[in-house]
Copies of this chain bind each other. A is one copy, B any other.
């Protein structure tokens, strides 16, 4: 087995995945709905083929051979080998017939979730969710390597080397920090004016503004595109074709504005990965958490920067053709940073968002490490919302059935979202030592910011682990204090609190 032969096999799997990517993009953007049954057949066939190849004889042979011939691999070859080995061990360890049964269970759970949403009742899906949990509990021993707890195994599938032990401390600190800020705001804060946020901004006006901003931030439209969809996402077919989507609301322009800024962050990441990783599984983000750090860097670091809005607000005014002539930039800026407890995660503001994640984390941990009964989950959920956010869902649609993740088997995924926030704030802190971000964001050329991120994060793709990237980029391990400090400075400023 030569490296070249190994990389050719890897490339062919990547080519299949790239076709699957386009099929997925098309399903979510433009496919006539009537075509969905045919589409399901095509996707099922190609993804089956991709999976079979990824655990097939060629890959097996390569893994066996290079285990004792590592010296024959180039730098890229070695990184690809490590990644493929990890994926192989994850995929190959489960008996195929159990994996098949699990896939069926996921389909059932998705239908049950839709029903539960409709009925606003967790009861409608609890049997199916229990089945998913049972499958994962069956699979965890197969996946387990050095992890201390069952839930660690799930966490690691989304964020390598993350543990409950670390997260418990980190989330305790984040929770306390946010609760403090919220208490201070409640006691002494002056809420910003927000009435004008619902003024009509046409889709075309929004598009002109936000594509201009995305370009400024470094998203390359000649190597991507922006389409309409119900659930916004970024999907990369390759580094020269990293597409983003959004949805528009003409009486809530901030949704698409921050949505596109967010997805553009994902897109810039993919567009900036070193070409030497083309056609390998390294030509993508390092983890869910690191990917989210890049979208959130755009959305909550740059998007919460006053100088950035000083620069962009005149352009926004121009695009909206007079609609905001009576609003000055400070009033506008403050309105974007209102914070308010809410029941729905995807509608949460950037201060309260991590609390939504922490609630999910605590419940997932109870499920896998403490065997809590499924019957107790809705009450636990509602109690935690009352405790952390001071509000209580009136039904399960406002509560435990709002997210698709659990019915999709994605237990362990939610923490990535909060990691993204913390990474973003920590990267900002490190970047600020080298760059004068305020001056850059007030100016016409944002490229130093993008270049810093490319140099420290993007270029490596998935060839380095999150831990290492953060350590190398910031000089220390994940430290949630940067997020807390940053939130304090932003929200105390908006809510006119002197400390």
Tell me if B238 and A32 are in contact (CB < 8 A): no
In whole angstroms, how far apart are the Cα atoms of A30 and B237 in the complex? 13
What residues on B are CB-neighbors of A279 within 8 Å? 41
In whole angstroms, how far apart are the Cα atoms of A12 and B45 in the complex? 7
What residues on B are CB-neighbors of A223 within 8 Å? 32, 34-35
What residues on B are CB-neighbors of A45 within 8 Å? 12, 15-16
Tell me if B32 and A18 are in contact (CB < 8 A): no
Surface stretch bound by B, among A19-27, A120-128, A181-189, A453-461: A19-27
Taken residue by residue from 25 to 40, chain A's Cβ proximity to chain B (1 for < 8 Å, 0 otherwise) reads as 0100011111101110
Tell me if A238 and B18 are in contact (CB < 8 A): no
Tell me if A240 and B22 are in contact (CB < 8 A): no
Judged by a CB distance under 8 angstroms, whether A46 is at the interface is yes
Name the distance in Å between A242's Cβ and chain B's nearest Cβ.
Answer: 9
Judged by a CB distance under 8 angstroms, whether A222 is at the interface is yes
Judged by a CB distance under 8 angstroms, whether A241 is at the interface is yes
Assuming the contacts A45-B12, A279-B41, asked whether A241 and B32 have C-beta atoms less than 8 A apart, the reply is yes
Most buried by B among A46, A224, A279: A46
Taken residue by residue from 265 to 285, chain A's Cβ proximity to chain B (1 for < 8 Å, 0 otherwise) reads as 000000000000011000000
What residues on B are CB-neighbors of A306 within 8 Å? none
The residue on B at minimum CB distance from A238 is B38
**This chain's copy number in the assembly:** 2
- Per the 8 Å Cβ criterion, residues 220-244 of A in contact with B are 221-225, 227, 237-238, 240-241
In whole angstroms, how far apart are the Cα atoms of A33 and B16 in the complex? 20
Name the distance in Å between A18's Cβ and chain B's nearest Cβ.
Answer: 5
What residues on B are CB-neighbors of A31 within 8 Å? 241
Taken residue by residue from 180 to 214, chain A's Cβ proximity to chain B (1 for < 8 Å, 0 otherwise) reads as 00000000000000000000000000000000000
What residues on B are CB-neighbors of A104 within 8 Å? none
In whole angstroms, how far apart are the Cα atoms of A227 and B31 in the complex? 12
Tell me if A240 and B15 are in contact (CB < 8 A): no
Judged by a CB distance under 8 angstroms, whether A42 is at the interface is yes
Tell me if B240 and A38 are in contact (CB < 8 A): yes
What residues on B are CB-neighbors of A12 within 8 Å? 45
What residues on B are CB-neighbors of A221 within 8 Å? 32
Tell me if B38 and A237 are in contact (CB < 8 A): yes
What residues on B are CB-neighbors of A23 within 8 Å? 19, 22
Name the distance in Å between A95's Cβ and chain B's nearest Cβ.
Answer: 24
Assuming the contacts A15-B41, A15-B46, A45-B12, asked whether A26 and B35 have C-beta atoms less than 8 A apart, the reply is no
Name the distance in Å between A70's Cβ and chain B's nearest Cβ.
Answer: 28
In whole angstroms, how far apart are the Cα atoms of A223 and B37 in the complex? 12
Tell me if B34 and A222 are in contact (CB < 8 A): yes
Most buried by B among A23, A34, A223: A34
Assuming the contacts A38-B240, A41-B279, A237-B38, asked whether A46 and B32 have C-beta atoms less than 8 A apart, the reply is no
- Per the 8 Å Cβ criterion, residues 4-20 of A in contact with B are 11-12, 15-16, 18-19
In whole angstroms, how far apart are the Cα atoms of A240 and B39 in the complex? 10
Tell me if A18 and B38 are in contact (CB < 8 A): yes
In whole angstroms, how far apart are the Cα atoms of A66 and B32 in the complex? 37
The residue on B at minimum CB distance from A224 is B32
In whole angstroms, how far apart are the Cα atoms of A225 and B35 in the complex? 11
Name the distance in Å between A13's Cβ and chain B's nearest Cβ.
Answer: 10
Name the distance in Å between A226's Cβ and chain B's nearest Cβ.
Answer: 11
What residues on B are CB-neighbors of A227 within 8 Å? 30
What residues on B are CB-neighbors of A35 within 8 Å? 223, 237-238, 240-241
In whole angstroms, how far apart are the Cα atoms of A108 and B28 in the complex? 37
In whole angstroms, how far apart are the Cα atoms of A221 and B34 in the complex? 10
In-complex Cβ contact of A19 among B19, B224, B225 (8 A)? B19
The residue on B at minimum CB distance from A37 is B240
Tell me if B33 and A18 are in contact (CB < 8 A): no
Name the distance in Å between A9's Cβ and chain B's nearest Cβ.
Answer: 12
Name the distance in Å between A47's Cβ and chain B's nearest Cβ.
Answer: 11
Assuming the contacts A15-B46, A23-B22, A45-B15, asked whether A30 and B225 have C-beta atoms less than 8 A apart, the reply is yes
The residue on B at minimum CB distance from A31 is B241
Interface residues of A (CB under 8 A from B): 11-12, 15-16, 18-19, 22-23, 26, 30-35, 37-39, 41-42, 45-46, 221-225, 227, 237-238, 240-241, 278-279
Closest 5 CB pairs of A and B: A35-B241, A38-B238, A34-B240, A15-B45, A35-B240
Other 12 A-B pairs with CB < 8 A, given A11-B41, A15-B45, A38-B238: A15-B41, A19-B46, A22-B23, A32-B221, A32-B225, A32-B240, A32-B241, A34-B223, A34-B240, A37-B240, A38-B241, A41-B279
